[in-house]
Structure 1
């Protein structure tokens, strides 16, 4: 697989997929691994909608015979499966090294050795549990905003367009 292309003015989050699945309490460990991956990706897609980071989710495929690796998009995320004999840790280390000192490279993993390597190569680390708390906080803000929008829609339901425009103008004046 070719190296990924990065832009200097963008923030990136690289997620060690299986490490995060293993650490997050919200992922149902009783379902098949494919379902756990999809659950993680759905959670991260919602999170991604609220952030300005490009998110790369890396899964180990190093034990898959003749795996050439793979890259695909899923709801705005870039999902990567490593090649045969390549761990997600190795892939992440190589990407962080190639990215150099690009602005805002974060790596979500709870592997302590991996965290030290990431720091030494210019990235910042985020444990899986810290990342889960961050995702929870963003989700809570999103739910609150949706609740407020729903309430506002209910309050303005039945107003004419002229009344809505007048109300909007009054709100903008107070801001």
Structure 2
């Protein structure tokens, strides 16, 4: 049986640990959440992880969100229920799927890390996650550049019939 890999992200913990997201959150918390979700969507797709980003609902301004939102094939965003912390939700996820799948939990919360390790899951610090995300982004950018370079030659974008006609024109001149 192939075990599916999950990355569970303690959303606010990571936002507060990553300086760029922390700065954004001081101006606009929703924008910081969206940025983290975008980063995790790309990262999860690249690494082949299913990502679950967990936010404590009590930090959400306006009407309280109490739902799970699927943003793509590889990511789910969870706003915890009232009086439920991200930590308790993460513990619940680990106990539900941890025996069948590989789970990594990204948090800087020391107590949470101990619970994660004690339950058989893996812990990833905010710093470790940031380093791996940045490395992955560089690899993605390199791959995109290589793909663009490959597609700029005529023989890679024109069909054989058109190429043949162009070759005949070239030979006649």
- TM-score, normalised via structure 2 length: 0.80
- Aligned position for 2:13: 19
Query: Which runs of 5 or more residues in structure 2 are unaligned?
Result: 162-173
Q: For 1:154, what is the secondary structure of its paired residue?
A: coil
CA RMSD of aligned residues (A): 2.6
1:32 and 2:28 matched: yes
In 2 relative to 1, CA 70–148 (structure 1 residues): closer, same or farther, beyond 3 Å? same
Out of 52, 76, 79, the residue aligned to residue 78 of structure 1 is: 76
TM-superposed deviation, 1:9: 2.6
Alignment of 1:87-106 (within 5 A): 87-106=85-104
Contact 1:101 1:123 in 2 (8 A): no
The residue aligned with 2:132 is 134
Alpha-carbon separation, structure 2, partners of 1:108 and 1:159: 42
Normalised by the size of structure 1, how large is the TM-score? 0.79
Q: Any idea what SS the aligned residue of 2:46 has?
A: coil
Number of residue pairs matched by the alignment: 157
Deviates further, 40-49 or 132-141: 40-49
Answer whether contact 1:16 1:88 (CA < 8 A) is retained: yes
The structure carrying a bigger helix percent of its residues is 2
The structure whose Rg is larger is 2
Measured in 2, the distance between the counterparts of 1:69 and 1:86 equals: 10
Which residue of structure 2 lines up, in the alignment, with residue 113 of structure 1? 111
CA deviation after TM superposition for structure 1 residue 67, in Å: 5.5
